[in-house]
Structure 1
C-alpha cells in the first residue's frame, strides 16, 4: 500500500552499499584494530594544512557558507587555466552525478555506460525515469568506446565514462577517446567521471578538462575525496562550458557545500608538495602489492587508480569474511556480478603488510585443510 505513494522508478533502485564501517566491525568482532582497504580512501589522510584550515573554520560554522563557492572555483580555475564560470562545486562527486541527472534526464531518455562501473549512473537514470543502456567492458575490462558508439540512438541523452574506471582501475587510450568524442553526435553529452584522474601516470594523457577547453560537449567530474584525502567532508566539482553547467546551477541546492569542507579544499590545493609525496608513496606501494598478489597466483589488472582489481580465484564473499575477522576489509565485487574479484585500496606500508600476511595465513590454512 505504501509503495503506491512512492515516485515512479524508486522501487527499481538498488541502494549503494559502501564499504563496511570500521566502527561496526570493531563492535561486532571485538577487534581493537581494523584497516579498511575497501573504499579507496587516502590512507595518508589530508594535508596538514587542510586539517589546520578546517579546524580554524569550525568557529564560523554558525554562518551559512558562501553558496557559489567562488573562492574555491577561482582557485580551481587558476589551477586549470580556465574561467571560474566553467566550474560548479558540489557535495562530493556523487552529488555532481545527481545534479547532472536532475538537470538532463527526461523520462525515456537513454543513458549509456559500460559495466562494471560506478553504480550511481544507473541509479540516477532510473530515478529520473530514463533507460540505462549497459554495455559490457572489453575482455581487458577497459571501457568499450566502439560498443558505446554503436549503441547511440536518437533517444540517447548522456554517456557516462568512468576514467579511470571503478572498480577496474583501467583507462581508455587517449587517442581512441579523441576519436570517440569526434564521432559522438552533438545532441549527446559525454560525462567523464575522473575521480581518480590524479593517479594517471601515462605521459601526455588527455583528461576531460583539456577536452572542455577544446570545446567538446563534455562534463568532467573531479573530487577531493581520493587524491586530496577529504572523503569525509564531501567536496566534488564539475568542469564544463557554461551552457552545460547552467541547468546544474538551476537544480543545485543553495548551500550544498559546508564552510569546513571548502576551507579544507582550498588549503589542500595549496599544499602541492604533500600531494606529490603521497602520490609517490601510493605508486610505490601499488607496485609492491601487485607483485605480492601475483606471487600468490592471483590475477591483477593494470591499475591507473589508488586501488587494485584482483581476481582472487575464489568466492570473495567468503574471503572477505575471513579477512574481516583478521581486521582487514577489502571490497568484494559480487555487486558487479564478479564473484571471484575484489577491489583492494592501496594502503600504507604497514596496512599492506597486514593484508599480505593475512592472505598468506588464509592461503596456508586452505592448503593444510586440503
Structure 2
C-alpha cells in the first residue's frame, strides 16, 4: 500500500548508495578463509601509528563532548596551508561536506553540473535539495571542462568537479582549471573534490587549488582523511573556502558532527609526514606493477593519478566481479559507472596486487567468462 506521508520530491529519483562488500560479509557468504578487498579505495597500509595512540588518549574521557569548533584541527590546517582557521569547515568525510555545499547553494529548480562518470554523491545531494543535475560525459576518460562550460545557464548554481576523477583516475591541469575559472561567472560555485590529490605523481601540472581561494572566492576545495591518512572508518574531512562561504556552510553543520576520536586522529595523521610518504610510494609502485602486468595480459587500462585503476577486460564486469569474489578478491565492477567491460581496482599492498592479478588470470581463462563478452 502506498503511503500518504509527505516525502520530499527529490527522494523519488534517488537510488540508495551501495558501498563495496565488506570482507567479513564475503568470508561468511562464501566460506573462504582469506579474502582481500580492492573495492573501496581504502588505505592498504592502515593508518599512522600515531593515530591509535591519539585515539586511546581521547577515550580516557568519553563522557565529554568533542570540540564543536574543531579548533585544534583547524589551527594545524591553517599552519600547513597558510589559510585562516575561519576558512575551514570540518565534516564527517567528503560525503557530509558535499552535502553541506548542496544545502548551502542549491534550491528547488536550481541546476548543478557534473562530469559523468564521476562520484555519484554529487547527483544525490543535488536531488535531495530538489535541484536538477546536468551530466556531461567524459572525453577519452577525462573531465571535459569546455563541455561543462557550454552547459552553464542562468539556473546553474554549482559545478561539481572531481580531480583526480573517480572512477577514471584522470586529472585536469593547473592551466586547464585556471582558464576554466576565469571563464565562468563568479556567482557559480565550483566544488573541487580532491579526495585523491595526495596520490598524484609529481610533474603532472596538478593545480594548487588551496592557494587559489583568495583569487576565486567561488572555489570550494574538499579533502578527506579517509584515503592517504587511512581514517575511513572515523569519517572526517575538510572543506577550504573563503571566510564568508565557510561561515555559511558551517551553519548547515550539526554542532558536534565530528567526534573527538576522529578529530584527534586527523591531527595525529597530519603530523606524520613519513607515513604519508610510505603510502604514496606503495601506491606508485603498485600502479607501475599494474601497468606492466596489464600490458603483458594485453588489457587496456587508464593511467591513473589516484589510488585505484580502471582496466578494460572486454567481458561483462558483473560476471567477472562474481567470479573474482569466489577467488577471494573484492573489486568494483565498472557497471556501477556505466562502464560494463571495465573493472575498478583499488591499489593494495604488493602482495594483494599479485593475488588479484593471479585471480584475474584465472577468471579470464574460465569458459563462463569467455562466453560473457558483450559487443
Query: Is this a same-fold pair by TM over 0.5?
Result: yes
Aligned counterpart, 1:168: 168
Say which SS state the counterpart of residue 233 (structure 2) adopts: coil
Q: 1:9 to 1:83 in 2, by over 3 A?
A: same
Q: Provide the C-alpha distance between the structure 2 equivalents of 1:207 and 1:144, rounded to a whole number of angstroms.
A: 19
Aligned counterpart, 2:143: 143
Alignment of 1:49-88 (within 5 A): 49-88=50-89
Q: Provide the C-alpha distance between the structure 1 equivalents of 2:315 and 2:369, rounded to a whole number of angstroms.
A: 17
Aligned length: 369
In the alignment, is the contact (CA less than 8 A) between 1:285 and 1:346 conserved in 2?
yes
Aligned counterpart, 2:156: 156
Structure 2 unmatched runs, 5+: none
Q: Provide the C-alpha distance between the structure 2 equivalents of 1:208 and 1:234, rounded to a whole number of angstroms.
A: 23
TM-superposed CA distance for 1:325, in Å, is: 0.6
In the alignment, is the contact (CA less than 8 A) between 1:61 and 1:260 conserved in 2?
no
C-alpha distance after superposition, 1:110-159 (max 9, x if no partner): 00011000001100111101010001011x21111001111101110000
Aligned counterpart, 1:233: 234
Alignment of 1:354-365 (within 5 A): 354-365=355-366
In the alignment, is the contact (CA less than 8 A) between 2:363 and 2:369 conserved in 1?
no
TM-superposed CA distance for 1:366, in Å, is: 3.8
In the alignment, is the contact (CA less than 8 A) between 1:197 and 1:207 conserved in 2?
no
Say which SS state the counterpart of residue 161 (structure 1) adopts: strand
TM-superposed CA distance for 1:277, in Å, is: 1.6
Structure 1 unmatched runs, 5+: none
TM-superposed CA distance for 1:207, in Å, is: 3.0
Aligned counterpart, 1:182: 182
Aligned counterpart, 2:284: 283
TM-superposed CA distance for 1:3, in Å, is: 5.8
The CA RMSD measured in Å over matched residues stands at: 1.5
Aligned counterpart, 2:247: 246
Say which SS state the counterpart of residue 112 (structure 1) adopts: strand
TM-superposed CA distance for 1:279, in Å, is: 0.7
Q: Provide the C-alpha distance between the structure 2 equivalents of 1:368 and 1:44, rounded to a whole number of angstroms.
A: 32
Q: Provide the C-alpha distance between the structure 1 equivalents of 2:335 and 2:131, rounded to a whole number of angstroms.
A: 25
Say which SS state the counterpart of residue 160 (structure 1) adopts: strand
Q: 1:129 to 1:29 in 2, by over 3 A?
A: same
C-alpha distance after superposition, 1:70-129 (max 9, x if no partner): 100110111111111111100001100011111111101100011000001100111101
Q: Provide the C-alpha distance between the structure 2 equivalents of 1:304 and 1:225, rounded to a whole number of angstroms.
A: 17
Aligned counterpart, 1:12: 13
Whether 1:337 aligns to 2:338 is yes
Aligned counterpart, 2:260: 259
Q: Provide the C-alpha distance between the structure 2 equivalents of 1:213 and 1:202, rounded to a whole number of angstroms.
A: 24
Q: Provide the C-alpha distance between the structure 2 equivalents of 1:153 and 1:215, rounded to a whole number of angstroms.
A: 20
Query: For structure 1, which segment, 143-152 or 330-339, has the greater mean C-alpha deviation from structure 2 after superposition?
Result: 330-339
TM-superposed CA distance for 1:213, in Å, is: 3.6
Say which SS state the counterpart of residue 344 (structure 1) adopts: strand
Q: Provide the C-alpha distance between the structure 2 equivalents of 1:369 and 1:261, rounded to a whole number of angstroms.
A: 46
Q: Provide the C-alpha distance between the structure 1 equivalents of 2:136 and 2:143, rounded to a whole number of angstroms.
A: 9
TM-superposed CA distance for 1:64, in Å, is: 0.9
Q: Provide the C-alpha distance between the structure 1 equivalents of 2:306 and 2:366, rounded to a whole number of angstroms.
A: 32
In the alignment, is the contact (CA less than 8 A) between 2:319 and 2:369 conserved in 1?
no
Q: Provide the C-alpha distance between the structure 2 equivalents of 1:154 and 1:273, rounded to a whole number of angstroms.
A: 47
Q: 1:187 to 1:296 in 2, by over 3 A?
A: same
Aligned counterpart, 1:113: 114
In the alignment, is the contact (CA less than 8 A) between 2:186 and 2:216 conserved in 1?
no
Aligned counterpart, 2:274: 273
C-alpha distance after superposition, 1:15-67 (max 9, x if no partner): 11111111111110011211110000001010001122112222222211010
Say which SS state the counterpart of residue 340 (structure 2) adopts: coil
TM-superposed CA distance for 1:367, in Å, is: 10
Q: Which runs of 4+ in 1 moved over 4 A?
A: 367-370
